[in-house]
Amino acid sequence: MAGFMLNLKKNKAMDTNSQMKVMAAGFRIIRTDDQPTPRIKVKENGSYEWRTLEKFETKAARDRRFKELLLVSTIIQD
């Protein structure tokens, strides 16, 4: 679901207003992307559009970094 966060408990997507509230509370939202190259994209307070956080040579390297970032308490997955 592009642009929405999935609430697995209720299986509903988080709307844009809810995303903005979460980001205003200090959270960063991340997602993976493969085009044009493997990268991690981020949405955060002050920048409500997706932007590239980091680029990688391989999907495996991207996925390892993604898991590391999710260990940070203020970073959540889209």
2 pLDDT band (50/70/90 cuts)?
A: very low
* Residue reference for tokens 């999935």: 6
Every domain of the chain and the residues it spans: 15-77
Q: Is 1 helix (H, G, I), strand (E, B) or coil?
A: coil
Rg of the chain on CA atoms, in Å: 12
Q: Which residue has the higher pLDDT, 69 or 20?
A: 69
In sequence order, the 6+-apart residues with CB closer than 8 A to the CB of 29 are: 5, 19, 22, 23, 42, 43, 44, 75, 76, 77, 78
Instruction: Give the tens place of pLDDT for each residue, 7-64.
Output: 555 556 678 888 899 999 999 999 999 999 999 999 998 888 999 999 999 999 999 9
Q: How many other β-carbons are positioned within 10 Å of the β-carbon of residue 60?
A: 10
Query: 64 with 40: CB under 8 angstroms?
Result: no
pTM: 0.78
